A and B are shown apart, each in its own frame.
Chain A
């Protein structure tokens, strides 16, 4: 009888999982479809307007140009401006380091990705050993964080509170400070440094710390803004502790 209920549980889990995905898909579609249509119309209009102004160019040549342009963009080359672009590379050390971090933490934004076959293969093996390393590392950092909570628990215990209440309170404290320090405060910070709205900042913080990492918002990638020199280091530290916090949360 126990085995039966176990199997039932697994079946329910699987069913629930797929129902969850299906529901999510339907909602996404409902929310995004119209906005996408509008953007497509705007893009087509832009193209039309441009062609009308410059009747010298044939449509075919325009197509070719845009195809080439899109290919370049897909390769990560944004041709705005002129010669000075060569000085800054997408693959300078700071960017590569950040990239390595996104690989090892499995965030994987994708705004920067290896295009050479060698780079790709290296990436695979780099991740194969880096991901376990990252997890072990985060465990350690998490243990440090949990020590803080234990200290708080001890303090409360000496004040004479019951164990259950202490556990509840420390959990609450952990949750609340974590959300404040890792989600709310950084969003305010990003409002200033990146010019995002507060909700965009929260979205970015969540997508990053959950390691989903879509890559639609990435720090330090806007070419028309000035970032102070240790900006990305600060963000990396934030990501690290935020990830450790989330890992701890799952263990509790």
Chain B
């Protein structure tokens, strides 16, 4: 029965997403094709195959993370801060993928690095989660003593913790992203959730826009947010699992 529910759930998601995304995609493809043909029409010296090759070259470059803008290519992304962020994305299993090792040695190192890093990350998250839980229970007990409530206090504290966590990790950060990244609130929220759940598509990544300047504390604060947010979300999901089982 579980298997059926699982597969059914996946199928449902697939259908809905398909319905939502397909029209937009067709639109984008049509627009590009129109431009493509316009360009060819205007500059008849650009022969088809050569253009094809150029396009393929650009796609290839893009896939390895390089965009050609202006006279120079985009800033080096394997600088220290970029590499640090990459390490985080590897051991938290977020795995954005906007930056990924292209050398064979880099990849092997990545495997070994993750092999030890992921358990380490899990242990740390567990610790943080336990601390959070302890804190909540502590407060609950204090409330019980103060007001002589019984079970109500624990329930109240749990919902309080849930709401604060929600605010702190999911509802407020998008505002920061609105300001620093120029995303809409919905995009910020989407990014927050996709990151904290470790899905990490990589379609939105902070600090990747070459036209914007970021304050020096930005990436560090975000890293902290990721850490605590993941611990919190893991607790919430554990809770959901306990309900399911």
Contact = CB atoms under 8 A, between A and B. Distances in A.
Interface string A101-121: 111101111100111111111
Given A54-B50, A199-B108, A108 B95 contact: yes
B194 A29 contact: no
A122 interface: yes
A229 interface: no
B142 interface: no
A202 to B, nearest CB: 7
Interface in A205-244: 206-207, 210-216
A54 B43 contact: yes
A139 B237 CA distance: 14
A116 B202 CA distance: 15
Interface in B5-46: 5-6, 9-11, 13-18, 20-22, 24-26, 28-33, 35-36, 39, 43, 45-46
Contacts of B56: 80
A20 to B, nearest CB: 6
Nearest to A202: B111
A103 B58 CA distance: 28
Contact of B118 (A29, A131, A140, A210): A210
Contacts of A4: none
A91 B78 contact: no
B235 interface: no
Contact of B193 (A22, A46, A127): A127
Contacts of B69: 63, 66-67
Nearest to B241: A132
Interface string B73-88: 1001111101111111
Nearest to B189: A124
A212 B20 contact: no
A83 B87 CA distance: 41
Contacts of A192: none
A44 B26 contact: no
Contacts of B52: 80
A214 B43 contact: no
Interface in B47-63: 50, 52, 54-59, 61-63
Contacts of B93: 106, 210-213
Interface stretch (B98-106, B148-156, B209-217): B98-106
A172 interface: no
B115 to A, nearest CB: 8
Interface majority SS (helix, strand, loop, mixed), chain A: helix
A63 B54 CA distance: 13
B78 A29 contact: yes
A24 to B, nearest CB: 4
Contact of B58 (A14, A20, A70, A206): A70
Interface majority SS (helix, strand, loop, mixed), chain B: helix
B32 A17 contact: no
A212 B2 contact: no
Interface residues of B, number: 117
Given A70-B62, A103-B13, A216 B123 contact: no
A50 B61 CA distance: 15
B230 to A, nearest CB: 11
Contacts of B39: 65
A209 to B, nearest CB: 10
Given A73-B58, A124-B190, A137-B3, A31 B20 contact: no
15 contacts: A21-B88, A28-B109, A32-B83, A32-B103, A36-B64, A39-B102, A50-B54, A66-B58, A69-B58, A70-B67, A109-B201, A110-B98, A121-B189, A207-B111, A214-B100
Given A31-B101, A31-B103, 19 more contacts: A21-B117, A25-B84, A33-B79, A36-B64, A43-B66, A67-B69, A72-B29, A73-B58, A73-B59, A80-B55, A96-B17, A103-B199, A107-B95, A124-B194, A129-B9, A206-B115, A211-B93, A212-B90, A212-B95
Interface of B: 2-3, 5-6, 9-11, 13-18, 20-22, 24-26, 28-33, 35-36, 39, 43, 45-46, 50, 52, 54-59, 61-70, 72-73, 76-80, 82-91, 93-98, 100-111, 113-124, 127, 131, 184, 186-187, 189-190, 193-194, 197-203, 237, 240-241, 244-245
- Shortest Cβ-Cβ A-B pairs, 6 listed: A212-B95, A108-B199, A214-B97, A110-B201, A100-B13, A96-B14
